Each structure stands twice: as C-alpha cells, then as structure tokens.
Structure 1
Amino acid sequence: MFDIRRFDGVIYGADYNPEQWPREVWAEDVRLMGEAGVNLVSLGIFSWALLERAEGEFTFEWLDEVMDLLHAGGVDVNLATATASPPPWFSLKYPDSRPVTVDGVRLEVGGRQLYCPSHPALREGVARLTRAVATRYAGHPALKLWHINNEYGCHIDQCYCEHCARRFRAWLEARYVTIDALNDAWGTAFWSQRYTDWAEIQPPRRAPTYANPTQQLDWRRFSSDNILELHTLERGILTEVTPDVPATTNFLGFLPGLDYFRWAQEEDVVSLDAYPDPGQPDSHLEAGMVFDLTRSLGGGNRWILMEQATSAVNWRTRNAPKAPGQMRMLNHLALAKGASGIMFFQWRASKAGAEKFHSGLVQHVGPERSRVWREVTAFGAELKTLTPLLDARVPARVAVMFDWHNWWALNIDSKPGVIPLLPLLGRWYAALRTLGQNVDFVAPGGDLGAYDVVVLPNLYLMDDTTGADLRAFTQRGGHLIAGYFTGVVDGQEHIHLGGYGGPLRDVLGLWVEEWDVLLPGQTNTVTLNGAPVTVTDWCDVLHLDGAEAVATYGERFYAGQAAVTRHATGQGTAWYVGTELPQPALRDVLRGVLDGAGVPYTLLPTHADLSVSALPDGTQLLHVLNAHPHETLTLTVPSGGTLFPDGGDAGTWIELPPHGVTLIHYPHAVQISDVQVSGS
C-alpha cells in the first residue's frame, strides 16, 4: 500500500529538467523551490540521451550532482527511469525499432516516444537503463518514488511492424489456443477470411475496405497488453533492486489506447497528467470527470496529479491561459476528488524545443515579475495547511460504468452511426454533477455493492457476465439507467440475437428493433413530463416487454412509441434512454432515478461545483467551488460548520467570487442536497 506519509504533507512540485539549463541555474532553482513550497520534483524523464551516450556507456555524474543539490535543499525526488524516448543513436543502430503506422510508414527521428514496444533491442535497452538507474540511486536519501517511462501510449499506442505482428500472433494463440477457436471468435466465414495457420494472421493494417471487426478489437486489446509488458518489465527490475520504493507511471485520463483499469493494478499509486482547456466554460467538468476516473482506477485511494499547466499549454490551436485564481480552483477540485499530490509540467519554462511556449512555475519573465509565480507560491503555502485532506475519502452512491473494450468496439468502423463516446459520457457526467452527486467510475466486473445507482451512458459491448452482474444489482434493490445502443454485441463483437439490448432485455423490460440515425439538422420530439422536448442524433425504436413509457416519440414512423422507459425488476428499477436528450431533459430523467433510489440531490448551476469528503473521525468537508470567471456565487449552506482549515464560523450564507474556493468542516454528515445555490 502506498504511504503518503513518506512525503512532507501534500505533495507539491513539478517536472524538473536541469539538463536544459547551465549548472549555475541549478542552485537558484533549488532556492526558488523552497520559496514556492515544492517538496517533490520529477527528475530525468527525458534523459536517456544524456545518461547513456552510447550502448552500455553510462554517465551519471551530472544527475548525481542534481540529486545531491535537491536533497540538500529539502526537495525529494520522483526519479524517472528515463526510458520515455530512446536517443538518436539507438534509432540509427536499430532502424527497425522505429514504429510503423497503419499505412506502413516508418516514423522518423526528431520527436519523442519513437519506439516499437515489441522490438527486442528496445526491451533490452529499457531493462539495461532501468537497472543502471535503479542500482545507482537505490540508497539515495532523496529518492521517494519511481516514475516509470512517461505517458505510455500518448503518441504511439499501436505499432504495425513485423515485430508487433509476431507478438500479436503469439498473443492470439495464447488467447484462443486453436485456430478453429479464433475463426469462430472472429466470424471468418464472412468475406472468405478463414485462417488455416497462425502465420496467415496480420495486424489490421490498411485494407481495401473494412477490416474484420473482432480482429480490430483484439488488436486494441493486444496493443494495450503489449505496452503494459514494457511497464511491468521496468517495474519488476525496480521492485528487485529497490523493494521499499513505490512506483507509478503517469496516466492520461481517458486515453483511447490503454485499458487503465488493467494498468492500475500494476501501480503503487495512480498518477495523472491533466490538461483541461481553461478557455472552455466547462473545463472544470472536463477536469472533474478525469479526476473521478483516476480515483476510481486506484480503488478509491488517493492519487497524484503529476502534470498540469500553471497557465497555458503550447499544443492547442488556441492556447488560453488560466485566469487568475483558476489554477487554484482546479487544484482544489483535484483535492476534493482525492488527490494527495499537486504537480506541474514543468518547473522552469523551456528556452528551446517544441514545448517552449508551455507555461511553468518559473516563467520566461522570471519569478519577480510573474503573476503565475505569485499564484503558485501562495498555493504552495496554502497546501501546507491542508494535510488533513490526505486521510479523506470521497464517498459516492452513484457509479458510472465505463469500459475501454467497449470504447474500442464502438469506434470500429461499419456501424449504424457514429457515437462519440467521450462527449456522450461528458453530458451524463455533467448532469450528475449538476445534481450534486459524487461519482465513481467502475469497469464491468467491478464491485457494485457500494452503490445505489449505476449509470451506463453507453455499453454497446456487453458480455453475458456483465449482464448477469447488472441483473443481480437490480434484483437486490439497485437502480440502473442505460443509454441508447447498449447491449448490442458480446465480447467478440458478435450481435446478441433476438432484439437489441441482449443481456439486459429482461432487466430493462424491452427490446430494440432498429435505430433511426438522424442526419445533421434532423430532429424528433419526445413528450417528457407532459412537455415536448427536441431530440437529435439517434432514436432507438423500442418495444416494451414489461417496462412503462416515461417519454414517447412525437414524430417519424415510430411516433407514439416509448423513448424513455422505466421497469421495476426484483427489488430495484431499470431505466432506459433511447435517444439523445438535451441536457435539461437528461438531468430530469436522472432526477427520477435518484428519487426512486432515495439518493438526495440538489439542482446546481454548471459553474457551481460541490463535493463532500469524509474524514476518518466521522467528520466531513464540504468543498465549494465557483468555476465561473466573472460571476459571484451565492449559497446557503447548513449551519454548524467551520471554515477549513482556519476554524472560524462558516455561517449559512456564502458569497464566493469568480474562481473562488471555500472548504467547510462539519462535525456530522452533510449532504450536498442541503445546499441551496442562488438562481439554481
């Protein structure tokens, strides 16, 4: 178990890249870190080219000096294995280690993360460097955490070269054992695709038309597993050499290529890089959804925000800065959702290179004239007063089921229509948050026992086991709600015959005959709570088999048929939303689910973010954030609370300025439903 107590309070720091700067800057960096309250830096992430200048020839003296300087200055180190990007000499010596795209193009030197995860020499080099770094610094007093590689899969989550093709065949043989079993799973009777030997199987490279859907799905599974082997290779060496030093690798939230529920099992602590767009009005919702996912990946344990921007990034078409107070507000959001560490990319903004316009704690103008520096030093001082948060938990009665395998399957071509999963997920998440709900994410097969409500915005791919788990959840009194195009295929991407909805047909009390995929500009209407509502994009044509209609379609050939349903099953209830409802209507349907489940809620404007944390002594913290850049937020809160951490009477009336934050400590349980927001 990861012990946050090995650090001095809440972790605060940044990526530190001293190799980009002359030695005379290093001592000044350490002095400024003390001024900012930094207690941990990530070091050496992109240092392979400096540490191993030729194969097997290591140069550690400069890193020794930096490690010693940091330790003397009271700054601990999250030391990278430095394997994130092989040096140019490696690509020259092993040209076939460069990854290949789906179109057969071998990528070139000049960027980062230029490696095929299957290449034998790459794996040997990774192991060699990891062992050398671990052995060198195993006893160094500054070493507190290992940082394995960096942002796996950020740029290369699939390589289509021959090395990967061979490993793919081996992975398939281990999965299916016989070629006949693979043919059955892939449905190769279609289009004369039947295989007679493993050697005939290729990655789903660019083909004349649609590649086999199950081949594509298995390829995504293999690619995630294949990169995970690189991670576990390094993790095994670190555990052997430094068994008492925990290790992590930085996740990227809803990264398409890697099954983080599987990956999180290999982490001592889950860490995250998060870059919500500060120029968007709902950036706090984008951030909150990723933060909730990260906590959920770690089983509810606290986690580290490993990277974020102090202000602007460099890689969007338009790179908005964080407004004054916005950085603090978003970091309080992370703390409310279980973060135990707040870190940034990077310490000092680069003078050269592709990320030179990415903000840092120390900006190009220097600390004395920098608004960012004033904010980060003030926040560093504030974090020193928030140590009790390290023991807080985030209780949730609502879980959203999310599955990377479903995402991969949904993105396979040749579908009735395009369903962008993340925007869909974001709309459901936003509706739950504006109803004041703490939200966990859970994978199929996860424990549902702690939840009153389970939400499936979409689960197109659903095997019988998942269906049985959801059936058991509702039978024992749980409340389930599913969105359109759910339960259509099994784990091999084969249709559940007999009416769409597959394993959930009896639970939902309905079956789906077909879909009306609306063209751009087309709409339909549904009658919900006696009023017409305009719907877009997608309409399931439903047939009721025990369910009751909550909303009905008003137009097109299925006018009068159900669009939203409710079905009492066992001791629970199952709801189904067969169309793309506008946000207020979706929120109203979810209110009905929460009402039926006995889960308290309140109506909040989207810029009001409220969360509850539970402390071990039974007391609770109410986190109140105003995400609006211009408007003051006015709230009425329960009496009996004290301002945290100062201890003054919180009263019952709060005015929160733009990007303002208030924490209120209650000696008893408090519900977000007890809070009233003016105008909500």
Structure 2
Amino acid sequence: MIQYGGDYNPEQWPLATRIEDVELMQQAGVTLVSVGIFSWAQLEPREGVFEFGWLDDILDRLHAAGIKVTLATATASPPPWLTRKHPEFLPVLADGTVLHPGGRQAYRVSSPEYREYVLRMTRTMAERYGRHPALVLWHVDNELGCHVPHDFSDDAAVAFRRWLADRYGTVEALNAAWGTAFWSQRYDDFDEVLPPRSAPTYPNPTQQLDFARFSSDELLVHYRALRDVLREVTPHVPTTTNLMLSTGTKWMDYFSWADDLDVIANDHYTRAHDPEAHVELAFSADLTRGVAGGDPWMLMEHSTSAVNWQPRNRTKRPGEMIRHSLAHVARGADAVMFFQWRQSAAGAEKFHSAMLPHAGTDTDVWRNTVALGSTLQALAEVEGSRVRAKAAIVFDYPAWWGTELDSHPSAAVTYPDRVLAHYRALWQRNVTVDIVRPSADLSGYSLVVVPGLYLVTDADAANIARAAERGASVLVTYFSGIADEVDHVRLGGYPGAFRELLGVRTEEFWALQDGETLTLDDGTPADLWSEQTHLAPGTSAVRTFADGDLAGWPALTRRPVGAGAAWYLGTRLNADGLQGVTDALIAEAGLTPELDGVEAVRRVADDGRSWLFVLNHTTDEVTVPAQGHELLTNASVTGTLSLPAGAVAVLREG
C-alpha cells in the first residue's frame, strides 16, 4: 500500500485529545506517523531523569489501532538544561555570532561532547522501543542542516582541519589546491587553517568550497553516528532522515548521503509566490528519485494548505492538496506524509496547516484529508513500481556551490534557476526526466542536459562525453566546465572540460548588465550572458547573435559526436526561446511526449504492468486520448479521458 500519515506530536496535547487523535486517524485512513521528533525536553526534562509514560501510552494506542510508527531519536533540538549547562555546544556564524536556544537546532555537530549526549539519547530510545510492535522505521534527528548548514565554531575548525588532512594528506597539497600563493595565504601547518570566517574581502574560493564540502560531510557523519547506534541495538529496523531536496536547499550534497539511508525520505513545500509551483514540485520529486537511484521513496513532509514561514502564506486551492500529493506519487513516492497531524495551538508553527486544522473536522482541509486517505488506498497496487525516463538533467551540488561563489564574471549567474528552466521546458512537453549526478550511468538516456556545470572533474566530463558518443543528444550550457574540482580555471579557453566535446573555444565572456538584452538571428531575445566563441571544424552555429558587440558570433552550436551530438548554448534565452531549443533536442533524441495540456507520468512494475498518472493543473476541463482502467473512479476509459479542472486520474494500462 501507499503509506499515509504525518508528523504526530502528542506531547503537545492532553490525553483526551490523544485518544481522539487515534480515532480520527483511523477515520482518515492513516497508516503511518512520525513520533517524537522534538520531544527530548519532554522525555528527559532534567539530566538523567526520564519520563516515558506518555510515549509508551501513545505508541501502544497507535499499535492497537493498526497504525505504524517511524520513531525519532528525539534529538532534533537539545533541551534547555543541556545548553544552559554547556553553552559551548551552541553553533557560531561566520561573523562570530552565537546562535542561542529559543528556536531549534541550537547545537554544533562537530562538538565531541555534544555528540556523546546525542548518542546516549539515541541509545536510550533504541533500547526502550526497539522491539515495540508499532515501530517500522527510525527517523534520525530531523532536517539536518536546515537552519545551521555551516558552523564556524572552534569545534568546527578542529574538525575542518582533520577533514582537510584526510582529503589532502599534506599541507603542501592543500596549498596547491587552494592556490595560496595568491594574497600571501600560504600555510605551514594545518593548525593555521580556519573556517572561512568573515574577512576583509573575498575569502579564498577553494577554502569556501571545501568548507561547504566539509559541512555537508560533517552533518552526514552526525547522521551516521546516530544510525550506527540504532543498527547496533535494532538491526532489524531500517533508518532514514528527512532530506530537503528542492531548488531552495543548497548546502547538503544529498547524492553523497544516499548510500547511508535505508529509505530516501524528502520534505517538500511549494512556494506561494510561484504560479508554477507544481513544476518545481515535479523537479523536487524527480531529484528525490535520482538520489534514491530510481527506487521508490518517501514523502516525509508537505503541507495540506498554507505554511507559516513564507512572507505571504497562501491557502491551497480546491483540489490542490490531493493533486500535489499524487504528483509526488506519480514520480515515485510510496508514502505521502504531512507536517503535521494536528495543527498546533502554540509555538512558531501554529499557523502551519495540518491534516486536522484548528477549525476541526467540519472543514475542507479535513474532508481533503479523509479523501486523500481513500484515494491512496485505491492506488495500493502502484506500490513498488518505478518511473522510467529516457532524458536526464545533470545536477551537482558542488557545481552549485562553485557557481555562486563571489568574485565571478556575473553575480547574476546562479545555478538552480537555470536547472529549473531546462527542466520546465521538458516538463512542458511531458518528457519524463531523471535528475542525476555527473558520475551517473548515462548509457540509458537519449537526451542529456548539462546546465551550468561550472565545476567538473575530468572523469565526469569524460562520462558526459561518452553519452554523446553512444548516441545521446547532449546539451551543455554557458559557464560549464570552467573549473576543476578545486576551482582552478581550466586553461586554454572556455568551456574548459567540454571544449573538445563541443568543438568550441571561448576566448572571453561578455557578461551583460542588468536590463541589457540581445537578439539572436531568428529573433529570439537573450540576456545575462554572451561569449566570444570560436568553432572547430565540424561544429556549426545553429544560432548567432544578431546585434550587440558580438553580432555574428555563435550563440547556439552543434557538433556531431560518435552516434550522437553535442550542443552548446552560450547565452540565456527567454522561456519561448529555450522551449524551441528543447523541442529540437526532443525531436533529435527521438523522444515521444506523453500527452498535451496535462502533466502525465508513467510508473512501471517489474512484471510489466504500468500506470499512467494524468494531472490537470489548469482551471479548465481537459480531454486527452487515453485507454485503461481508471483507479480513482473504478471506471474503464476507452479512447478519451475528460479530466475536470484541478483533477487527477490514474490509469492502469493494458
């Protein structure tokens, strides 16, 4: 079955409310809840004094009701007594500001002493509840790095030096990697190295990049330490933590985390200001599936309606909550969960929507909660199936970090917006996309898009080139291949690592000023970026600049490579222009879009059964060609499917 539920925080409520909660969960079809995430202060109100009675009681009640539990380690925020006793556990910003208790995540993961407290609490939870019949999954900490992705404390400095010594071996190798001959930054000993704290001007770029790598790794080390305790005490129970895979979460390299999670779980929230938030949702779901290596995954959190933390928090429109939930399922989720079950009456998230809202059960939100439970039950047969794609977008966190370092040709060149722009152009044509890291196996794709891959290793550049040689159409965009993994510019002309593949050599960037635009020879407008690019024999200019200082120079190029082709886009096109280029690539790659006017995604089981999800994000009824058995209405569809505004259909095909 598709699991259904959300975060449950019984410690916020009296016993009578908890009893009601379990009854209402049964009415809604809830099958799984996350418990205990922020409960350390309730479970251990004073050091060494534990009060487990309330948690024992609710776990027993949930089990009796047939509801499974993903139980947290309760370590997501330290209790006040701990940070009062050990203020040295508090994290520090680059400018020396100490982040104090009163919110959440007021801890530094690099503190060995803090780690001991966390490991003790984790062991206590595992030993007490590891054999509880309701427990099916451990939830380690919560949204690691959400509020403190970087800690610049003295503990972090010690850990950073250790990480650097492991990475480089010698201080001479570090000096070479960091280019410390510049600005008299040469180090004689690892003990001289600091995190990139606030400095008079731009900190060393490779120091910044390595600190980002270290910080992601250090958060993962923290997860591993807790997980290892759980595996020791409860080897029969899988573990996860909720990642935050979206275009808004930058600082954790989740591809490097994947092998350490038994289940890939994601939290995702749409942005109220974005009229096409469902496109970013689809990208996030595809990225989560990419981190999961194509396996089904778990939607650990999303919202039934408005959240509390955006500048203007919009209520979800009729049908939107169910449609968003099923969009995640369409792209590989085998669990749909929310923050949270019952809307809080107090605290910072009291205006964050929940499955059971402040206004109670006579509400649209509650009716949607119940309806979604029934809907997911109707989709039980989809569980375990996979999404298959013939197109891929290469996505890389270190490239993101490197692209957005300071002192670059243009501060306006950013990473996720370009990735999402290319994703949107494929989404518009219902071309299913895998989001993959540069080292991924690309042999199964006929189209590979490489947007803004500023940093790239030799091995990863060669991997992308092989995709073209084997027959894929490969598109590389501007500011790609510029630097190696330690942010040293690849000499000899841009785009560095991809010059040979693309058959181009750029001698100089021509970054455009804010508001400055160019026109291509077919009338397409462009902005932000242009390049003075020379073509090698065999490379042709598909589009050139029609005006500006580079009039007549190439803007879009193509080179036949092996059985495929390599394209280079050296400017930023508007949405229509990018759609035109994408359509040409789709045609060349031989891809066939599913349907027009709706979002359509197919999941396929190992035995060959398939299900087509059709989602109507428009305000009009849409009719599309379709054939199969529609699971949500239990009706046969022959020839055409009429889908009301905002509705979803799931067709069992064949």
TM-score (norm 1): 0.94
Kindly indicate whether residue 631 of structure 2 is the aligned counterpart of residue 644 of structure 1: yes
- Please give the alpha-carbon distance, in whole angstroms, between the structure 2 residues aligned to 1:663 and 1:279: 29
- Please give the alpha-carbon distance, in whole angstroms, between the structure 1 residues aligned to 2:639 and 2:602: 17
- Please give the alpha-carbon distance, in whole angstroms, between the structure 2 residues aligned to 1:539 and 1:232: 45
Deviates more, 1:129-138 or 1:500-509: 500-509
Match of 1:633 in 2: 622
Kindly indicate whether residue 348 of structure 2 is the aligned counterpart of residue 347 of structure 1: no
Return the offset for 1:591.
1.7
Aligned positions of 1:363-442 closer than 5 A: 363-367=357-361, 369-418=362-411, 419-442=413-436
Cα distance change of structure 1 residues 495 and 453 upon mapping to structure 2, 3 Å threshold: same
- Please give the alpha-carbon distance, in whole angstroms, between the structure 1 residues aligned to 2:305 and 2:212: 34
2:600 partner letter: L
- Please give the alpha-carbon distance, in whole angstroms, between the structure 1 residues aligned to 2:496 and 2:73: 46
| 1:83-134 CA-partner distances (Å, limit 9, x unpaired) | 1000111111111110000110111110001001111221001100000000
Match of 1:671 in 2: none
Deviates more, 1:57-66 or 1:289-298: 57-66
Kindly indicate whether residue 281 of structure 2 is the aligned counterpart of residue 290 of structure 1: no
1:323 partner letter: R
- Please give the alpha-carbon distance, in whole angstroms, between the structure 1 residues aligned to 2:184 and 2:7: 53
Match of 1:60 in 2: 52
Match of 1:45 in 2: 37
Kindly indicate whether residue 294 of structure 2 is the aligned counterpart of residue 304 of structure 1: no
Match of 1:108 in 2: 100
The gaps in structure 1 that reach 5 residues or longer are 1-8, 668-680
Contact 2:272/2:312, CA 8 A, preserved across alignment:
no
Contact 2:594/2:600, CA 8 A, preserved across alignment:
no
| 1:474-507 CA-partner distances (Å, limit 9, x unpaired) | 1222221011111100001000000111121111
| 1:60-92 CA-partner distances (Å, limit 9, x unpaired) | 111111111111111111100011000111111
Aligned equivalent of 1:624, options 609, 614, 634: 614
Contact 2:196/2:203, CA 8 A, preserved across alignment:
yes
1:360 partner letter: A
- Please give the alpha-carbon distance, in whole angstroms, between the structure 2 residues aligned to 1:307 and 1:602: 29
1:655 partner letter: S
Match of 1:658 in 2: 645
2:535 partner letter: L
Q: Secondary structure at the match of 2:389?
A: coil
Match of 2:116 in 1: 124
Match of 2:564 in 1: 572
Match of 2:274 in 1: 280
Contact 1:349/1:360, CA 8 A, preserved across alignment:
yes
| 1:171-226 CA-partner distances (Å, limit 9, x unpaired) | 10111111110100000010111111111111100000000000000000000111
Return the offset for 1:448.
1.1
1:175 partner letter: R
1:44 partner letter: G
- Please give the alpha-carbon distance, in whole angstroms, between the structure 2 residues aligned to 1:618 and 1:62: 47
2:315 partner letter: P
Match of 1:192 in 2: 184
Please give the root-mean-square deviation of Cα atoms over the aligned residues, in Å.
1.3
Return the offset for 1:12.
0.4
| 1:379-427 CA-partner distances (Å, limit 9, x unpaired) | 1012111111113210100111111111111111000012221111111
- Please give the alpha-carbon distance, in whole angstroms, between the structure 2 residues aligned to 1:301 and 1:391: 8
1:538 partner letter: W
Return the offset for 1:648.
2.9
1:408 partner letter: W
2:296 partner letter: R
Aligned equivalent of 2:532, options 516, 525, 541: 541
| 1:137-187 CA-partner distances (Å, limit 9, x unpaired) | 011100011100000010001000101001101110111111110100000
Aligned equivalent of 1:73, options 65, 73, 97: 65
Aligned positions of 1:208-219 closer than 5 A: 208-219=200-211
Return the offset for 1:279.
5.4
| 1:524-582 CA-partner distances (Å, limit 9, x unpaired) | 0012xxx3111111112211113111111011121011100110011210011111111
Kindly indicate whether residue 164 of structure 2 is the aligned counterpart of residue 166 of structure 1: no
- Please give the alpha-carbon distance, in whole angstroms, between the structure 1 residues aligned to 2:273 and 2:479: 32
Q: Secondary structure at the match of 1:114?
A: coil
Q: Secondary structure at the match of 2:326?
A: helix
Aligned equivalent of 2:593, options 586, 601, 609: 601
- Please give the alpha-carbon distance, in whole angstroms, between the structure 2 residues aligned to 1:624 and 1:442: 24
Aligned equivalent of 1:587, options 568, 576, 579: 579
- Please give the alpha-carbon distance, in whole angstroms, between the structure 1 residues aligned to 2:492 and 2:567: 20
- Please give the alpha-carbon distance, in whole angstroms, between the structure 1 residues aligned to 2:216 and 2:609: 41
Contact 2:130/2:234, CA 8 A, preserved across alignment:
yes
TM-score (norm 2): 0.98
- Please give the alpha-carbon distance, in whole angstroms, between the structure 2 residues aligned to 1:601 and 1:52: 55
Q: Secondary structure at the match of 1:641?
A: strand
1:634 partner letter: T
Return the offset for 1:645.
5.4
Match of 1:678 in 2: none
Deviates more, 1:286-295 or 1:465-474: 465-474
Kindly indicate whether residue 235 of structure 2 is the aligned counterpart of residue 243 of structure 1: yes
- Please give the alpha-carbon distance, in whole angstroms, between the structure 2 residues aligned to 1:363 and 1:590: 43
1:410 partner letter: T
- Please give the alpha-carbon distance, in whole angstroms, between the structure 1 residues aligned to 2:158 and 2:596: 54
Return the offset for 1:602.
6.3
- Please give the alpha-carbon distance, in whole angstroms, between the structure 2 residues aligned to 1:216 and 1:284: 33
Contact 1:485/1:540, CA 8 A, preserved across alignment:
no
